[in-house]
Structure 1
Amino acid sequence: MNPIMTSLILSSLALGTVITLTSFHWLLAWIGLELNTLAIIPIITKQHHPRGTEATTKYFLTQAAASAMLLFSSTINAWSTGTWDITQLTSQPACIMLTMALSMKLGLAPLHFWLPEVLQGTSLKTALIITTWQKLAPMALLFLTQHALNPTTLLTMGLLSTFVGGWGGLNQTQTRKIMAFSSIAHLGWMATILTISPTIMILNLVLYLLMTTSMFTVLIFTTSKTIKDLTTTWTISPTLSSLTLILLMSLGGLPPLTGFMPKWLILQELTSHNLPSLATILALSALLSLFFYLRLSYTMALTLPPTTTQNQLKWRFCPKQKTTVLSTTLVLSALLLPTTPLFL
């Protein structure tokens, strides 16, 4: 792609999110979301492949429907309240419609159908953008309107998302689809805690972005698109393979790693609000996700690919890519648990 066009598209992508993050008017927020959607479409379809075209079509139709629903809900709210202020959300039908619209934009179950298919049809770098940067604007709107949203609806969608994310990832062999279902499960945890403790939701979002960025950076660095590709990782870079094992355990939420922090705080908050049964179900649903993280870990760090020579290490050149970002995010994804008292 032309460098000027690339910089223009990436600038539009950033600008769309910033407009939504800083707006208090529904029309401005909608414009930011639309700019965001229109900017990412050329990035998805860049590889000129039938799968890329299919992914672009699915993404566009889903996001357009969600944007239309969001605009309709804000219009209903403005008609009943007389204001376009985002924080003045009082109309109940508008609240439910807004929840559905933002859930569709994020990929929360049962409106998650587009996310695995779109990620499968894109490159790893584009999948990284969709699962991280594209979540910021809808999450910001959910955060701004959380006082007016129906807690039962969000709790139901959150629980459903954690189970769908866990069950859906069990039989996958494509790393992009596995990361899509991982994203759905993490979003479910965020939706569950949103109305109870928005600050913990923000913490969960930051750590999710950190760990997902780390995992996609590893996949990009090793060019691994399937689980089978991961079997050669150990012979290419033993150190990276060992660190990725720790990263996957952190994504699964095992102590004493970073990923345990948001799950611990969420379960503690739910229990303190007399919701122990909900906390138990959420903790059990995390086991489903942990299973496919363990599957990836086993394939990546504990198995060797079949080889016709006696050499354990594969012939390799020095990596040409810089690993500064990767090493930084990997360390943060594993070692932030001691900072938990700051958020209690």
Structure 2
Amino acid sequence: MTLLVFTLFSVALTLLGFFVPVALFKRLTILGLSLALLSLLFTWGKPFAFGPYQVDGVSQVFTLLALLGALWTLGLVRSRRFEFYLLVLYAAFGMHLLASTKNLILLLVALEALSLPLYALATWRRGQGLEAALKYFLLGALAAAFFLYGAALHYGATGSFLAGTPGKGPLYALALGLLLVGLGFKVALAPFHFWTPDVYQGSPTPVVLFMATSVKAAAFAALLRVAAPGAPDALAFLIALSVVVGNLAALAQKETKRLLAYSSIAHAGYMALALYTGNAQALGFYLLTYVLATGLAFAVLSEVSPDRVPLEALRGLFHRDPLLGLALFLAALSLLGLPPLAGFWGKYLVFAEAARAGKWGLLVLALVTSAISAYYYLALGLSVFGRGEAGVAPRPLARGVALLVALALLLLGLLPGSVLPALAAG
């Protein structure tokens, strides 16, 4: 049903775009994504398969997270061009397909379906971020080529394009390695992360929210499909490199979006640790807390400035708007993983699973780098209480959503068991 809703609205809005006012087009796009979300919730827990298209626990959990990010993005955007909203819809469609198939060829098509709109969205403000978007496009094309070669070698090694098909030998190992490179680019695992800081800094803030939440959720769904039967040992190296590079590089950042970009690389490493230990439930919960906290941070930043936001620009935010200042403070603490916020339980579940699996080296490295992250997360969170003249003119809707998400982070931290059963992705 979700696929049908996406298809109907994508076709209908493509035809209507030139004939309806932009304000109405935005509402229709939000309506389409909302109906897709409702159809997903209505069919929750009911598996469905049609050829390579497969709706199961993984599809439902990760599509839900992607749709939340897409709707949040549309709520923040004030574009006068209908194409912006249409591109977000197309990308969300691609994300749903990416989370809803094990077929490597359809995974490649879905990757391109979500990537092409993002390349355009990254350069939406003409003259800004063009260099970063070009880097994003070129590296994205290279990652797609790696994925395609990996799919071909996977077929040669196993005789199947179905992700997760067991195989042996160097050809199979090479196939998994190439697939891992292609998907590692999308989730921003080091050393495939080089596009992330520049694109985050140069893109409009609502677009960065979309990239940091929805794209990461959908890409991890695909990575789970590929690596679920037995994550390759190469993933352990990517995890270690990501948590080290992400956290250490973030220490030197003075621009908020660039800081959060390196933070997202580190969090990709923590999420990949959950995948490496084979716990899809821990991965789903971590992603939920990450989507809420990161989305909240970028939502607040979009009310401060749609472009670059130096840390100095946040000083005095709490005094200018206590709600937004407190929301950014809570988002930073949740990303750090401090109780009683939801981010604490996300990290606890991942780290506890790593201990049970005996991955002591990765666990110690994750704990040490998580402690290091306290420096820049506290610098970000406490900056809102400093003396300054932070410029902000928030809309009532933005303030209301910020309040709801901040409460959600607190409630999930107090009652994590209320959602864990629903996130047991199958």
Match of residue 328, structure 1, among 386, 393, 404: 404
1:242 and 2:326 correspond: yes
- The aligned amino acid for 2:112 is E
1:67 Cα deviation after fit? 0.8
Identical amino acids, percent of aligned pairs: 27
Residue aligning to 2:149: 72
Q: Is the 8 A contact 1:62 1:105 kept in 2?
A: no
Other structure's SS at 2:145 match: helix
More off after superposition, 159-168 vs 221-230: 221-230
- The aligned amino acid for 2:387 is L
Q: Is the 8 A contact 2:341 2:414 kept in 1?
A: no
Match of residue 190, structure 1, among 267, 271, 274: 271
- The aligned amino acid for 2:372 is L
Cα deviations across residues 94-144 of structure 1 (Å, max 9, x unaligned)?
A: 011111221122210111111001111111111111111121332111111
1:13 Cα deviation after fit? 1.0
Q: Is the 8 A contact 1:259 1:334 kept in 2?
A: no
More off after superposition, 170-179 vs 75-84: 75-84
Match of residue 380, structure 2, among 296, 317, 321: 296
1:234 Cα deviation after fit? 2.3
Residue aligning to 1:88: 165
Change (3 A) 1:220 1:4: closer
Other structure's SS at 2:338 match: coil
Q: Is the 8 A contact 2:323 2:399 kept in 1?
A: no
Residue aligning to 1:124: 205
- Distance in 1 between residues matched to 2:185 and 2:392, nearest whole Å: 43
Residue aligning to 1:199: 281
1:279 and 2:347 correspond: no
Residue aligning to 1:107: 188
1:334 Cα deviation after fit? 2.7
Change (3 A) 1:320 1:204: closer
Q: Is the 8 A contact 1:159 1:192 kept in 2?
A: no
Other structure's SS at 1:86 match: coil
- Distance in 2 between residues matched to 1:218 and 1:21, nearest whole Å: 28
Q: Is the 8 A contact 2:129 2:202 kept in 1?
A: yes
Other structure's SS at 1:23 match: coil
1:219 Cα deviation after fit? 0.9
Match of residue 305, structure 1, among 373, 385, 388: 388
- Distance in 1 between residues matched to 2:213 and 2:286, nearest whole Å: 13
Aligned length: 335
Change (3 A) 1:23 1:316: closer
Residue aligning to 2:340: 256
Q: TM-score, normalised by structure 1?
A: 0.90
- The aligned amino acid for 2:408 is L
Residue aligning to 1:311: none
- Distance in 2 between residues matched to 1:250 and 1:317, nearest whole Å: 25
1:293 Cα deviation after fit? 0.7
- Distance in 2 between residues matched to 1:152 and 1:53, nearest whole Å: 36
Q: CA RMSD in A?
A: 2.2
Residue aligning to 2:315: 231
1:148 Cα deviation after fit? 4.1
Change (3 A) 1:194 1:47: same
- Distance in 2 between residues matched to 1:18 and 1:167, nearest whole Å: 33
1:45 Cα deviation after fit? 1.2
Residue aligning to 1:309: none
1:73 Cα deviation after fit? 0.4
1:280 Cα deviation after fit? 2.3
- The aligned amino acid for 1:37 is S
Other structure's SS at 2:203 match: coil
- Distance in 2 between residues matched to 1:212 and 1:139, nearest whole Å: 16
- The aligned amino acid for 2:103 is H
Q: Is the 8 A contact 1:247 1:334 kept in 2?
A: no
Unpaired runs of 5+ residues, structure 2, are: 1-78, 422-426
- The aligned amino acid for 1:287 is A
- Distance in 2 between residues matched to 1:341 and 1:333, nearest whole Å: 13
1:340 and 2:416 correspond: yes
- The aligned amino acid for 1:127 is V
1:2 Cα deviation after fit? 6.0
Other structure's SS at 2:129 match: helix
1:28 Cα deviation after fit? 1.3
- Distance in 1 between residues matched to 2:394 and 2:149, nearest whole Å: 54
Match of residue 31, structure 1, among 105, 109, 112: 109
More off after superposition, 156-165 vs 58-67: 156-165
Q: TM-score, normalised by structure 2?
A: 0.74
More off after superposition, 225-234 vs 129-138: 129-138
- Distance in 1 between residues matched to 2:86 and 2:360, nearest whole Å: 49
1:149 Cα deviation after fit? 4.7
- Distance in 2 between residues matched to 1:147 and 1:181, nearest whole Å: 26
- The aligned amino acid for 1:230 is L
More off after superposition, 329-338 vs 185-194: 329-338
- The aligned amino acid for 2:151 is S
Q: Is the 8 A contact 2:355 2:363 kept in 1?
A: yes
1:54 and 2:131 correspond: yes
Other structure's SS at 1:323 match: helix
1:40 and 2:118 correspond: yes
- Distance in 1 between residues matched to 2:331 and 2:344, nearest whole Å: 12
Change (3 A) 1:81 1:318: closer
1:218 Cα deviation after fit? 1.1
Q: Is the 8 A contact 1:33 1:137 kept in 2?
A: no
Residue aligning to 2:42: none
- Distance in 2 between residues matched to 1:12 and 1:243, nearest whole Å: 30
